[in-house]
């Protein structure tokens, strides 16, 4: 029988951490995040190009859940730093979602357009990195929406006590995430080889296949958000930041693979790019995704405030494993294996997400 990933000594502390994080989220994080989202919706209305404006508003309307979930990481920050952490995370996630939509458009010079657009990530950390993001792109935004997002993120970051410990790592991870998004869009159009070569060349100490690395890279903005939260803690060292980055890169891998898993049947029917389709069978997919869940939980257990990070990992998994697609013939073996790896922490969160989905869809 598989030994649970969470050590028994951490279980009760993890459940207490969940209660505390929820209290902090609803009282000090959510109200500010909602306000920031309204602010960016108003700002997006000023984009002068109709197509770019539509991209921004659609993402803010349909993908606001991305902001509402990633900003939960702000509950890790001390209360006096929390508002700055929220503002930085919201601006960066809104930027990420907008760039995802804009860079998905295909043009004659699509690759260069993507690289220029994603330089906005650099500008979120370094003022001198600001550039003409739409260079080579057939559309223009003279309202400065991207620059406003980058500036808001950068100004909030500069108020955090341990920005110096995380800045270079966060900037590099954000740039890495942008490049992964470019190549993932190309893979969705059938150009898989560049993504495979790039992901394969970026090997680190994690025992992952190229598509597992690519999956994690595509969602590695999650690691940037975790680093931003860490910058709000005066105790954070460079070594702490490196451990946070590694744990949340693994969490990003788990996120993308579970997302791909529950969408497998839909992606297959549409002919869409699917990370889990690279596995030779459902059994192999289940084995590998469960192993990654274990690696992620182990990495989280090694962080300062481990109970909170463990509950975050369990929450990520529960969100996807509560979806209807988790019970498809292909996904079910992985659902069972991952749930077993993350017991008992995942059980109450899984119940909460299933209840939420039933009420939402009623």
Question: For 184-216, how does the pLDDT look when each residue is reduced to its tens digit (9 = 90+)?
Answer: 888 877 788 989 888 887 666 678 999 999 999
- Taken in order 34, 251, 6, 290, is the CA torsion positive or negative? positive
Whole-number pLDDT of residue 135: 77
Q: Which residues contact 202 (CB under 8 A, 6 or more apart)?
A: 176, 213, 217
pLDDT in the model for residue 189: 77
The CATH T-level fold of domain 8-361 is Farnesyl Diphosphate Synthase (1.10.600)
Measured N-to-C along each axis, helices 332-342 and 282-301 cross at an angle, to the nearest 10 degrees, of 20
Give CA 260 to chain center in angstroms. Answer: 14
Residues 118 and 134: beta-carbon distance below 8 Å: no
Q: How confident is the model at residue 50 (pLDDT cuts 50, 70, 90)?
A: very high
* Residue positions counted in the chain: 362
Render pLDDT for 102-142 as a digit per residue (tens, 0 to 9): 887 765 544 445 677 888 888 899 877 667 787 767 788 88
Does residue 1 register a pLDDT over 70? Answer: no
Mean pLDDT of 69-73: 92
pLDDT given at position 150: 94
pTM of the model: 0.91
Measured distance CA(251)–CA(124) in Å, rounded:
23
Q: Which residue has the higher pLDDT, 77 or 131?
A: 77
CA within 13 Å, CB half, 277: 14
Domain residue limits, the chain: 8-361
Cis peptide before 344 (omega within 30 of 0): yes
Residue 343 CA to residue 5 CA, distance in Å, equals 7
């Amino acid at each position: 029988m598989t030994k649970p990933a969470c050590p028994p000594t951490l279980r009760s502390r993890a459940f207490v951490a969940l209660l505390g994080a929820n209290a902090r989220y609803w009282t000090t994080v959510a109200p500010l995040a909602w306000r920031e989202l309204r602010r960016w919706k108003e700002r997006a209305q000023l984009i002068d190009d109709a197509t770019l404006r539509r991209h921004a508003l659609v993402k803010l309307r349909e993908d606001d859940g991305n902001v509402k979930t990633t900003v939960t990481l702000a509950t890790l920050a001390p209360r006096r730093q929390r508002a700055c952490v929220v503002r930085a995370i919201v601006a960066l996630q809104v930027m990420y979602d907008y760039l995802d939509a804009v860079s998905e458009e295909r043009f004659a010079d699509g690759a260069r357009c993507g690289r220029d657009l994603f330089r906005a990530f650099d500008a979120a950390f370094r003022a001198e990195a600001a550039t003409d993001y739409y260079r080579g792109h057939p559309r223009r935004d003279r309202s400065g929406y991207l620059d406003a997002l980058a500036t808001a993120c950068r100004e909030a970051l500069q108020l955090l006590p341990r920005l110096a410990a995380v800045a270079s790592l966060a900037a590099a991870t954000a740039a890495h995430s942008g490049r992964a998004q470019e190549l993932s869009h190309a893979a969705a159009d059938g150009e898989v080889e560049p993504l495979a070569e790039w992901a394969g060349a970026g090997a680190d100490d994690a025992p992952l296949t190229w598509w597992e690395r690519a999956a994690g890279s595509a969602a590695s903005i999650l690691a940037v958000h975790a680093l931003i939260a860490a910058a709000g803690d005066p105790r954070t060292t460079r070594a702490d930041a490196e451990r946070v980055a590694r744990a949340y890169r693994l969490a990003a891998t788990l996120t993308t693979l579970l997302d791909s898993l529950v969408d497998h049947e839909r992606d297959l029917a549409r002919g869409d790019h699917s990370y889990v389709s690279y596995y030779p069978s459902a059994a192999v997919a289940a084995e590998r995704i469960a192993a990654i869940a274990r690696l992620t939980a182990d990495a989280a257990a090694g962080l300062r405030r481990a109970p909170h990070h463990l509950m975050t990992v369990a929450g990520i998994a529960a969100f996807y494993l509560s979806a209807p697609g988790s019970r498809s013939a292909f996904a079910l073996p992985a659902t069972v294996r991952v749930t077993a790896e993350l017991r008992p922490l995942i059980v109450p969160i899984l119940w909460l997400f299933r209840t939420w989905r039933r009420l939402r869809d009623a």
